Chain A
Amino acid sequence: MIASAIAIAGGAICLAIALTLYRIAVGPDATDRVLALDTLVIEAIALIVLGGIAYGTAMYFEAALLFAMVGFVTTVAFCKFLLRGNVIE
Chain B
Amino acid sequence: MHPLVEALVAALILIGAFFLLVGALGLARLPDMMRRLHGPTKATTLGIGALLIASMVYFAAVRGGFSVHELLITLFLFLTAPVSAQMLAKAHILRSGAGRDLPPTGRRAEWATLDDSKPDGT
Contacts and interface: CB of A to CB of B under 8 A. Distances in A.
Contacts of B18: 12
Interface in A25-45: 29-32, 34-36, 38-39, 42-43, 45
Contacts, number: 158
Contact of A35 (B9, B40, B76): B40
**Chain A interface, >50% SS class:** helix
A45 to B, nearest CB: 6
Interface of A: 1-2, 4-6, 8-10, 12-13, 15-17, 19-20, 22-23, 29-32, 34-36, 38-39, 42-43, 45-46, 49-50, 52-53, 56, 58, 61, 64-65, 68-69, 72, 75-76, 79-80, 82-84
